[in-house]
Structure 1
Amino acid sequence: MAHKKSLHRFLTQRFTFLFISLSIIYVFVVGFINLNAMDDTTSYYMQYEAQVLSEYYQKEDDILEFDKGIKEYYWGIDKLPKLYKEFLDKRSLDENIMMLLETDSHFIYILPYNAANLPETFVVVHLFDKSAHSYSEKKLHIQLSILFSIALLVVMYFVLQTNRQVSLQVSSLKKWVRFLNIDNINSASLPKSLKFDELIQIASVVSLSYQQQQQLNTKKQAVLKREQAFLSSLSHELRTPISIISAACALLEKRNALSDKDKKALIKLSHANDNMKRLTETLLQLWRNQPTSEKITQISLGDLLAYEIKESQVNSSIVEVTHNNIKSFQGHKTHVSIVMSNLIRNAHQYTTTGKIHIKLDGYVLIISNQFDNDLHTHTNESFGFGIGLYIVKKICTDNNWMIQTDTTNFIFSVKIQFKNQTII
């Protein structure tokens, strides 16, 4: 792996260099502005000279010229040379305001200065050689322009390089994450191209989570294999005795020597065996999360409810059935049958006093029963009374039927709202 470096430190170094570069450019720009602000500095010095010299010299005194050919001083406008007077005559005379006269050879700055205690206007003149000033100014312009251009290119290069390096690192991390494969443990190894600590830490966390996910997947696969083996064994163990009983019932039905009592017992045994077979197939499908192979048919809820009440062999004296707006709907008949039979058997099993109330209103089925106080603790369990209600809830969930349970004053009730299934 490449030498590690903090992304924060890398960006700090880069932007520190950028700040220093911009500061240098700023200094050059300020210097350039100051050099080109000759009018401002000249005006200041001319005002200063006018104030000092006008106070020091009298009108009759000869004023010494320290920079001959560069600076000139005059008492009164009428004492000015013809060139200066003609220039001022063409303009409105604004005292204490500097004016610029440009000739072929010079830049001439003229300041008419006046104050309350002065007998006459004091004029200060500064002259600058045009050729010398122009040459130095152009030379300075060229030098500063080159320096500015180089500085800006360096700054742009560092900005682009910084962006490129950070982008490449982030891109490497993104590409590595995209091609991570939970099924391949080698894909979780850290990419060697990363060199920033922050990105390496992120990659380490992602790699660790993928390795943990791989371990969980391995355990999950092992559990699934054991579950499949168990379901296969359970399927065999359940279906074998059912098949034997079905075969025995079929042989007994062919015998004519059976008494009426034995025939009734055989019919009861056959019904019980068919219910067991149907329940076993449904349970296996639910446990395997497999869709039922049964086709969707039109179901009359009223007829099917009457059939399940009869098949449950519950004493009719304790069952009170109320019908209202009976409807038919499309669904898996086996599932509806198992739901009804389990709820009826549960109600009968846990009812010691009172009646079982069954109400069918449209697509809504409500079954309620009164139970003993001793069984009250069982109603706090998540699945109510026994495995029968668990199966009912599982079937309702898989078919998107609404199911609600309620316990009030030792009366347990289950409400189911059936919905039409889509025919595939």
Structure 2
Amino acid sequence: MQKTTNRITRRIVLVFLIFGVVLTLMLGLSFVAAFKSVEQCMIDELLDAELQHYRSEIENTLAQQSYHSRTTSIYFAPLAAPSLLPEHVRHLSQGTHDLEYKNHNFRVLVKDIGEKRYVVKFDGTSIHERESEFIHLVWIYSITILIIALLIGWKASHQIISPIKQLANQIITFKNKPGALLDLSQFNDDEIGFLAKEIQHYHEQLQQMLIREKEFARNVSHELRTPVTSISLATQILAMKKNLSSEEYNRIQRIQRAVDEMSELIETFLMLARGSDKSSRDNYVVSEVGPIVRKVIEQQRVWLGNKPVEVIVKEKGHLNVSAPSGVISVLIANLVRNAFLYTERGIAEVVITPNKVTITDTGIGFDSSTQTQIFNHHAKAGLRDANINKVRGFGLPIVQRICEYYNWKVSFESKVGQGTRFTVRFDSELA
């Protein structure tokens, strides 16, 4: 979250920086252009006024063909004899010109009146020096405005981001304190405050929904215990009867295995309904996975029927897991059941190592589009056979929930027509 808010802060500062640069450039160039325009207009008017004054009052009293004051020089000559004019202004046409001569900057007016050409030359060197000073001053003020814009942007960004950071930090506490509430007093009655209220409202609704779901799961699981217990007692009584045929005894044992599996599933649902509780997880006894796997395989063989599938169990090391044996049984049973259900021929192999269990089959597999939804309830096999419409992924959402609860990792690889491999990695501290 810190990186995100820093990026937002940089964006706000960058916007103010760009705005400041554009503003200072526009103002600076506008001031300089306006100054130059006004300067030229004033000098041109001065040149014309000097020429008019010279012709009306001075020209007839002077015998020379030139006139000089501190800043202005006036020359005239017949149109037929332009060579009488100074060489540096002789080539100029009618109009106003900028002329640099002997390290001085001049503004020159050339005008033909009657049979004479008049040249009025104004020395604007001092004005150009003042112009340079003015331009430097404009850029100094522009840089100052730019610095002020940066400071305002930095201050504004922190004022804008501060309530967002507070809101984000409070939301982060929800991870460790599910019942926590936002401290709305820290937020003003603005957009951030409105967002905080909406998040608080949504969080409360979510908490109520989770509570209702947990209560429902507990109630359903408790209600299921009574009939399951009754069935278990009935099967035990039936198994104690004398003169049972082997077929009858096998059926009773199958019912008992199903009851045991249902009991384990109910206990798992109750555990998941209670939510994550690290202390309760740490207090579980250590269960050995190998015997559980062998028991589960015998329970799930019913799904193989008479299919030519070879079941292989390889134990390459002892795997001990801190979790109830019933939870491990439900986890393995769902994966083994999948392998048995969707393998028509070939092998179904379970490999146990000191930190993981791998279940591999040579079944139908599933395509890449189905793989993205494999842990959803409605994922289906990517098959073209219209006669096979079974739901693929039976029990996989339960597998994922159990792994999330215990911080285990479940992964898979699958190819259509070649089979599937599921791998569950357990905590290695007890392996």
Q: Which amino acid aligns with 2:89?
A: L
- Aligned-pair CA distance for 1:243: 1.0
> Are 2:79 and 2:116, in contact at CA under 8 Å, matched by a contact in 1?
no
Q: Which residue of 2 aligns with 1:247?
A: 240
* Residues 48-87 of structure 1 aligned to structure 2 (within 5 Å): 69-76=70-77, 85-87=86-88
Among 384, 393, 398, the alignment partner of 2:395 is: 398
Q: Which amino acid aligns with 1:330?
A: V
Among 240, 243, 260, the alignment partner of 1:281 is: 260
Q: Are positions 1:96 and 2:95 aligned together?
A: yes
* Residues 189-200 of structure 1 aligned to structure 2 (within 5 Å): 189-195=182-188, 197-200=190-193
Q: Which residue of 2 aligns with 1:31?
A: 31
Q: Which residue of 2 aligns with 1:125?
A: 121
Distance, in Å, in 2 between the alignment partners of 1:142 and 1:178 is: 52
Percent of matched pairs sharing the same residue: 10
* Residues 1:419 and 1:79: Cα distance change in structure 2 (over 3 Å): closer
SS at match of 1:179: helix
Q: Which residue of 1 aligns with 2:109?
A: 111
* Residues 1:62 and 1:247: Cα distance change in structure 2 (over 3 Å): farther
Moved more, 220-229 or 140-149: 140-149
Q: Which residue of 2 aligns with 1:152?
A: 146
Q: Are positions 1:328 and 2:309 aligned together?
A: yes
Distance, in Å, in 1 between the alignment partners of 2:94 and 2:221 is: 108
Q: Are positions 1:222 and 2:215 aligned together?
A: yes
Q: Are positions 1:237 and 2:237 aligned together?
A: no
Distance, in Å, in 1 between the alignment partners of 2:25 and 2:302 is: 89
> Are 2:44 and 2:109, in contact at CA under 8 Å, matched by a contact in 1?
no
SS at match of 1:215: helix
Distance, in Å, in 1 between the alignment partners of 2:197 and 2:236 is: 57
* Residues 38-49 of structure 1 aligned to structure 2 (within 5 Å): 40-41=40-41, 44-45=44-45
* Residues 1:108 and 1:241: Cα distance change in structure 2 (over 3 Å): closer
Among 152, 161, 165, the alignment partner of 1:171 is: 165
> Are 1:72 and 1:125, in contact at CA under 8 Å, matched by a contact in 2?
yes
Distance, in Å, in 1 between the alignment partners of 2:304 and 2:146 is: 90
Distance, in Å, in 2 between the alignment partners of 1:420 and 1:141 is: 77
> Are 1:100 and 1:107, in contact at CA under 8 Å, matched by a contact in 2?
yes
* Residues 1:302 and 1:272: Cα distance change in structure 2 (over 3 Å): closer
* Residues 1:421 and 1:231: Cα distance change in structure 2 (over 3 Å): farther
- Per-residue Cα deviation, 1:152-211 (whole angstroms, up to 9, x for no partner): 3322221221122222232222222222247542x2223544336111111111111111
SS at match of 2:95: coil
Q: Which amino acid aligns with 1:31?
A: F
> Are 1:77 and 1:85, in contact at CA under 8 Å, matched by a contact in 2?
no
> Are 2:47 and 2:121, in contact at CA under 8 Å, matched by a contact in 1?
no
* Residues 1:123 and 1:32: Cα distance change in structure 2 (over 3 Å): same
* Residues 1:396 and 1:24: Cα distance change in structure 2 (over 3 Å): closer
- Per-residue Cα deviation, 1:106-156 (whole angstroms, up to 9, x for no partner): 643323334xx842322222234x45x467546645654553343333222
> Are 1:111 and 1:124, in contact at CA under 8 Å, matched by a contact in 2?
yes
> Are 2:67 and 2:73, in contact at CA under 8 Å, matched by a contact in 1?
no
Q: Are positions 1:208 and 2:208 aligned together?
A: no
> Are 1:46 and 1:124, in contact at CA under 8 Å, matched by a contact in 2?
no
* Residues 1:155 and 1:77: Cα distance change in structure 2 (over 3 Å): farther
Q: Which residue of 1 aligns with 2:330?
A: none
> Are 1:330 and 1:421, in contact at CA under 8 Å, matched by a contact in 2?
no
Q: Which amino acid aligns with 2:234?
A: P
* Residues 1:72 and 1:272: Cα distance change in structure 2 (over 3 Å): closer
Q: Which residue of 2 aligns with 1:317?
A: none
Distance, in Å, in 1 between the alignment partners of 2:120 and 2:130 is: 25
Distance, in Å, in 2 between the alignment partners of 1:213 and 1:247 is: 50
> Are 1:183 and 1:214, in contact at CA under 8 Å, matched by a contact in 2?
no
Distance, in Å, in 1 between the alignment partners of 2:106 and 2:391 is: 104
- List runs of 5+ in structure 2 lacking aligned partners: 1-14, 270-288, 313-332, 342-361, 365-389, 398-416, 425-431
- Per-residue Cα deviation, 1:20-65 (whole angstroms, up to 9, x for no partner): 9987985565334333457743675478669x959x98xx8679x9
Moved more, 119-128 or 39-48: 39-48
Q: Which residue of 1 aligns with 2:283?
A: none
SS at match of 1:189: coil
SS at match of 1:216: helix
- Aligned-pair CA distance for 1:85: 0.9
Among 165, 174, 181, the alignment partner of 1:188 is: 181
Larger of the two Rg values belongs to structure: 1
- List runs of 5+ in structure 1 lacking aligned partners: 1-14, 254-262, 306-325, 340-361, 365-392, 401-416
* Residues 370-381 of structure 1 aligned to structure 2 (within 5 Å): none
Among 270, 281, 285, the alignment partner of 2:249 is: 270
> Are 2:111 and 2:118, in contact at CA under 8 Å, matched by a contact in 1?
yes
* Residues 1:41 and 1:241: Cα distance change in structure 2 (over 3 Å): same
TM norm structure 2: 0.50
- Aligned-pair CA distance for 1:328: 1.9
